[in-house]
Amino acid sequence: MPVIGYDPDRENHEPSKRKQFGLEPSERTPKLQHSCSAACNNTYISTDSDWVKVSSTLSTAADQIAIAPGTLMKEWHSDGRNYYRYELDKPVLNFYSFLSARYEVKREKWNGVDLEVYYHKGHEYNVEKMMRSMRSSLTYLSKNFSPYPHQQARIIEFPRYSSFAQAFPGTMPYSESMGFIADLKDENDVDKVFHTVAHEMAHQWWAHQVIGAHMQGATMLSESFAQYSALMVLEKEYGKEISKKFLKYDMDSYLRSRGGESIAELPLMKVENQDYIHYSKGSVVMNAIKEYIGEDSLNVVMQRFIANTAYQEPPYTNTNVFIEELERMVPDTFQYLINDMFKDIILFNNKAVKGNYKQLENGQFELTLTIETEKYRADTKGKEEVLALNDYIYIGVYAKANADSKNDKLLYYQLHQFSEKENTLVLIIDEEPYQAGIDPSHLLIDRVRKDNIIELSKTQ
């Protein structure tokens, strides 16, 4: 795309390349600030306009449907071509798409909102799943955050010359390779089509209502929040075991990708458009906060934040504003989590060392569990230091799965406060235990996940 003037987004930020050409190290994004600077006058998406009114008239071939954001006000045929007039009913970011193809269309209604999936004939495998995800997303997000802002929500297939999905106002182009021809026969796997649609639907709130200033942390307010929103829609639809699988993928992705950082790993609230932080770590962190303070409490924070910042005129919001709102909700006991998860780079080495149990005369079971926990702070280059512990971490105990259940039965799940590396716990359990461990749901960023839980031995 041609550019008039200087476009800083096209700078090469690769340290080795800049050194090769005698250039100073660059900042990928303006620094996060409490007091607003010129950076707050623009969003991280665009520097050329703020909220704009959009209406579109499109002409296309007689056998195609043309699609633009907004309500279809009029369509007609003239001189062998189809014409369409679309209008958005409220101002939006200067960020939208136009598509045209020979589409089949699946249509439904949800509380007066037109739901539409535009797809290539023969690619209908996951259309109903996409429609279900839109319904579920609208139900959860409208209830917990704010009303849906448009009169329509559209998923629109495009060819697999590229593999991504993208949210524009009320319209979400979606590559055929990601969803329309995906094989999702394994019911025990994460439904990636459902989740991707929910993520793009969530952007109708996070980015298309709340948009961060052009400074560090902006993508936390869009991508991390969309990841959390989609995770909750997924969890309500498929249950916690499936959402845990998705979180495992995100945890592994973050831990694997941080080793390849070429400039500087930053805390989540200062992320500089780094995918492995705002997607993967953001998903894990938002879920952990939700588990510690409760889903309703976190959603109240999100609701208040969107009420105060949606469709905001300059100066635009930033992560400091959200963190202040979160701090008002989080109990004093868990305030340290805000620093650990958003303001710093914290990792754990949690390990279940050994465990045994015996049956008591009253029929209950006494379980003795030895665990280790270590906490580290990493700097932006990955250098770590050991921190003193004073943390609340969940301990879980499970009974062995029976023929009627695919998963082990949770018998005990409680927070314990730890201040030492080595710890021995004695627990009384009502049913015979099978496994036990520390942070079994992997809420904390643990460098080694597989040693958190161990199988127990029975003693006399």
pLDDT > 90? residue 359: yes
Element (H, E) at 377: strand 365-378
Q: Is residue 226 located within the same domain as residue 244?
A: yes
Mean pLDDT, to the nearest integer, of 333-350? Answer: 98
Q: pLDDT tens digits for 146-183?
A: 999 999 999 999 998 888 889 999 999 999 888 888 77
Distance CA 52, CA 62 (A): 31
Q: Could you tell me if residue 363 is inside a domain?
A: yes
Residues 204 and 119 in one domain: yes
The per-residue pLDDT for range 51-83, each reduced to its tens digit, is: 999 999 999 999 999 999 999 999 999 999 999
- CA 297 – CA 387 distance, rounded (Å): 29
Give the list of residues 6+ apart from residue 299 with CB closer than 8 angstroms, or none.
144, 145
Q: What is the predicted pLDDT for the residue at 283? A: 97
Same domain, 283 and 352: no
The amino acid present at 155, given as its one-letter code, is I
Tell me which residue range forms the domain holding 120. Answer: 51-343
Which residue, 312, 343, 374, sits at the end of a domain? 343
Q: For the beta carbon of residue 123, count every other beta carbon within 10 angstroms.
A: 14
Task: Give me the mean pLDDT over the 126-140 stretch.
Answer: 97
In contact, 346 and 58? CB cutoff 8 Å: no
Residue 3 has a pLDDT of: 55
Q: Flag whether pLDDT at 4 surpasses 70.
A: no
Which residue type, as a one-letter code, is found at position 194? F
Length of the chain, in residues? 460
Q: What is the pLDDT of residues 97-120, one digit of tens each?
A: 999 999 999 999 999 999 999 999
Residue 365 falls inside a structural domain = yes
**Residue 224 region, left (φ>0) first, then alpha (ψ -120 to 50), else beta?**
alpha
Q: How confident is the model at residue 248 (pLDDT cuts 50, 70, 90)?
A: very high
Asked if the structure places residue 120 within a domain, the reply is yes
Look up residue 384 and give its two tokens: 């770590």
Question: Is the same domain home to 171 and 295?
Answer: yes
User: Does residue 45 sit within a domain?
Assistant: no
Which of 264, 283, 289 has its CA nearest to residue 274?
Answer: 264
Specify if 42 maps to a domain. no
**Same domain? 354 vs 308:** no
Residues 237, 378 within the same domain: no
Give the domain-ending residue among 343, 366, 398.
343
Q: For residue 1, is it within any domain?
A: no
Q: Are 329 and 371 in a shared domain?
A: no
Q: Specify the number of domains making up the chain.
A: 3
CATH code: domain of residue 427: 2.60.40.1840
Distance CA 97, CA 278 (A): 24
- For 315, counting Cβ atoms within 10 Å of its Cβ (0-12 exposed, 13-18 middle, 19+ buried), the class is middle
Looking at the fold, whether 73 and 115 belong to one and the same domain comes out as yes
Region of residue 344 (phi > 0: left; psi between -120 and 50: alpha; otherwise: beta): beta
Pair of tokens at residue 451: 């040693």
Residue 182, Ramachandran bin (φ over 0: left; ψ between -120 and 50: alpha; else beta) = beta
Question: Domain of 88: which CATH number?
Answer: 1.10.390.10
- State the greatest distance between any 2 C-alpha atoms of the chain, in Å, as a whole number: 90
Q: Which of 291, 310, 343 is the last residue of a domain?
A: 343
Q: How far apart are CA 410 and CA 241, in angstroms?
A: 12
Residue 208 amino acid letter: H
Q: Over the stretch 193-243, which tens digit does the pLDDT of each residue have? A: 999 999 999 999 999 999 999 999 999 999 999 999 999 999 999 999 999
Examine the domain organization and report whether 355 and 256 are in the same domain.
Answer: no
Residue 185 forms part of a structural domain: yes
pLDDT at 24: 80
Using the predicted structure, report yes or no on whether residue 37 has a pLDDT greater than 70.
no
Query: pLDDT of 271-302, one tens digit each?
Result: 998 999 999 999 999 999 999 999 999 999 99
Say if residues 184 and 129 touch (Cβ distance below 8 Å).
yes
User: How high is the pLDDT of residue 180?
Assistant: 87
Residue 318 has pLDDT above 90, yes or no: yes
Taking the whole predicted model, whether its pTM rises above 0.75 is answered as yes
How much is the average pLDDT of 289-318?
97
Residues 388 and 328 in one domain: no
| DSSP conformation letters of 419-447 | -SSEEEEEEEESS---EEEESTT--S-BS
pLDDT tens for residues 382-437? 999 999 999 999 999 999 987 666 778 999 999 999 999 999 999 999 999 999 99
User: Do residues 351 and 411 both lie within one domain?
Assistant: yes
pLDDT at 9: 66
Residue 180 lies in a domain: yes
Same domain? For 329 and 376 the reply is no
